[in-house]
Amino acid sequence: MKKNKLLTLSLAAALALSAATATVSASPNDAVQEKVHINQKTKSADFIFGKLTNPSQKAAKEIVFTYLEDKQELYKISGGAAANFKVLEQSTDELGMVNIKLQQTFKGVPVFGHILTAHVDKNGVLTALSGSLAPELFKKNSLKKGATVKPSEASAIALADLKAQISKDVEIDKQVGPQLTVYVKDGEAKYAYSTEFQFLHPEPGNYQYFIDAKTGEVLDSFNQMHEAKPTNGVTAPTGTTSTASGKGVLGDTKSFNTVINSNGSYLVDKTRGGGIFTYDASNRTRIPGTLWLDADNVYNAAYDAAAVDAHAYAAETYDYYKEVHNRNSYDGNGAQLISTVHYGRSYNNAFWNGSQMVYGDGDGVQFTSLSGGLDVIAHELTHAVTDTTADLIYQNESGAINESMSDIFGTIVEYHANNNPDWQIGEDIYTPGTAGDALRSMADPTLNGDPDHYSKRYTGTGDNGGVHINSGISNKAAYLLANGGTHYGVSVTGIGNAKTADIFYRTLTQYLTPSSNYSHYRISTIQAATDLYGAASSEVASVKAAFTAVGVN
């Protein structure tokens, strides 16, 4: 594996379903037009779509739960809908559809990674159910009895293992949990305690652990750096909003909002959502650091450059999501955008820790200051969008889709801002002494050794099961959808960036679920395009062709 595969723009891991081949069957009920997509690993439904119910004035939740009562055999559950699901969210989108997110539960305990999304149109017709469930939990002898290990014992076991993995000197900044969950892997289901440890020393990390609730065994652990749940705790300084100018990492001059008071000019933008705040770590590893303060509101010093780009590009990413998708910050609720630059010394990475962005300065050889790439910043903030929507588990195929979504929108934001756009990732900050290269190419993933077809996917355990490597498959599909072309003998008619972005945004926010694989991804994207343009549209035909061209059927 090439070294740049390990220098990731974000870190995390978990479980995912293996690839499935779509099979579709029609409902015999003439009043209902129903198609079912089967997950080939679990042999149960992971996508049902069509006119699933007749028009109704009933509440959307009642429509969905009534339908699920009749589909227990198909989903391989028992005991009724109320016993198997908990409503997590309900919202109405721009098409007038009511979208409900359901957590699978077993005896009241959440089942890790298993979510359903349900979609009811403005006429009260259920049009789609997306997501896979853990099947036949009621048959598992391992779930007949509950936990015997105490939560405090599970926490101690996890912490001891973390120290053995990382360092005995690891300094925990925050622990989340432990929480009892049902953990399913390779067909085995166990009660487990889930707990998370967030830390920066001796290296940044946010490890999630699953501890067997009966034996105390460590079932799994992984670094889910960008999946920590955000908290907003920054208070803006008092003062007057102003416009400042400054030079970025590449020497270009840009303008951005600041707050001025008697102390000087702060890198704070109070005009967007809950605010944009940029901090200086002063080459240390404590975050957020010191809120950036300048004397004269002109940011032209060399040391200012990383902060100028972090601040301005966070605003440009915010503007894209708000102007194009009416999304108010990454969570849709105006979450603060917090960035820290000059993290560590010669630090060759950037990461989202769940509450904020952090940028290293690079070593000047492999990377320059990582905040100097708009697509890098938009890539990372799209991970935050993913975490608050589909929450794609960051391993194997779901992790590759997660990575690709960040690449897709990193590129789209670059085009939206007209910032020397191209279909490469990280070209502005990668190997500053070498012209023309990049971390990844979406137009031709093979330039960086990544697959451009599902038949060539990486199946090893490195790179969290190939999350960056196998993102090339989806990246190539997105490139073809936007630009058109012929790939592996399949011709795709391009539909342009705007429609491509709308389709993938709807796919991400409405249909993908934590354990989505490539097969589920394809059918989800087709459904998103169907919602927007109609089943018989040329856009839907192009989506189908793009996925077929990269071997996802």
Q: What is the CATH number of the domain that holds 294?
A: 3.10.170.10
Among 116-120, 201-205, 403-407, the least confident range: 201-205
In angstroms, the CA 512 to CA 144 distance is 31
Q: What is the CATH number of the domain that holds 432?
A: 1.10.390.10
Q: How confident is the model at residue 233 (pLDDT cuts 50, 70, 90)?
A: low
Each residue's pLDDT tens digit, 172-189 = 988 999 999 999 998 899
Average the pLDDT over 271-286 and give the result. 96
Each residue's pLDDT tens digit, 513-549 = 999 999 999 999 999 999 999 999 999 999 999 999 9
Determine how many CB atoms are found less than 10 A away from the CB of residue 496.
12
Q: Are 105 and 111 in contact (CB under 8 A)?
A: yes
Active-site amino acid positions: 380, 468
206 part of a folded domain: yes
Q: What is the CATH number of the domain that holds 67?
A: 3.10.450
Distances (CA, A) of 260 to 119, 194, 239, 294: 47, 45, 5, 9
pLDDT at 32: 63
Determine how many CB atoms are found less than 10 A away from the CB of residue 243.
9
Same domain, 305 and 411: no
Each residue's pLDDT tens digit, 375-419 = 999 999 999 999 999 999 988 999 999 999 999 999 999 999 999
DSSP secondary structure code for residue 304 in this structure:
G
Q: How confident is the model at residue 4 (pLDDT cuts 50, 70, 90)?
A: very low
Q: What is the sign of the dihedral through the CA atoms of 301, 305, 310 and 313?
A: positive
Among 339, 367, 387, identify where a domain stops.
Answer: 387
Same domain, 395 and 501: yes
pLDDT at 3: 34
Same domain, 109 and 160: no
Q: How confident is the model at residue 354 (pLDDT cuts 50, 70, 90)?
A: confident
Q: Are 381 and 330 in contact (CB under 8 A)?
A: yes
Q: Where are the beta strands (DSSP E) in 12-97?
A: 33-39, 44-51, 85-92
19 part of a folded domain: no
Checking if the pLDDT of 231 tops 80, the result is no
Element (H, E) at 79: none
Among 178, 195, 223, identify where a domain stops.
Answer: 223
Q: What is the CATH number of the domain that holds 211?
A: 3.10.450.40
Checking if the pLDDT of 151 tops 80, the result is yes
Q: Are 547 and 492 in contact (CB under 8 A)?
A: no
pLDDT at 280: 98
pLDDT at 9: 36
287 part of a folded domain: yes
Same domain, 525 and 399: yes
57 part of a folded domain: yes
CB hemisphere CA count around 499 (13 angstroms): 21
Same domain, 245 and 193: no
pLDDT at 31: 56
Total count of domains within the chain: 4
Average the pLDDT over 191-217 and give the result. 93
Same domain, 267 and 284: yes
Same domain, 51 and 118: yes
Length of the chain: 553
pLDDT at 518: 98
Please name which of 512, 541, 540, 542 lies closest in space to residue 524, comparing C-alpha atoms.
512
422 part of a folded domain: yes
Q: How confident is the model at residue 10 (pLDDT cuts 50, 70, 90)?
A: very low
pLDDT at 183: 97
> Torsion angle, CA of 443/447/450/453, rounded to 10 degrees?
50
Same domain, 408 and 542: yes
Bridge-based pairing of strands 337-343 and 276-280 is: parallel
Average the pLDDT over 209-220 and give the result. 96
Same domain, 370 and 247: yes
Among 387, 420, 449, identify where a domain stops.
Answer: 387
What are the structure tokens assigned to 532, written together? 């927007």
Q: How confident is the model at residue 261 (pLDDT cuts 50, 70, 90)?
A: very high
331 part of a folded domain: yes
252 part of a folded domain: yes
In whole numbers, what is the pLDDT of the chain averaged over residues?
91
Bridge-based pairing of strands 109-120 and 126-130 is: antiparallel
Same domain, 310 and 192: no
439 part of a folded domain: yes
DSSP secondary structure code for residue 529 in this structure:
H
Tell me the residue range of the domain where 433 lies: 390-549
Strand partners, 85: 104
Same domain, 417 and 440: yes
Same domain, 281 and 382: yes
Checking if the pLDDT of 94 tops 60, the result is yes
Q: Is the pTM of this model over 0.85?
A: yes
Checking if the pLDDT of 374 tops 90, the result is yes
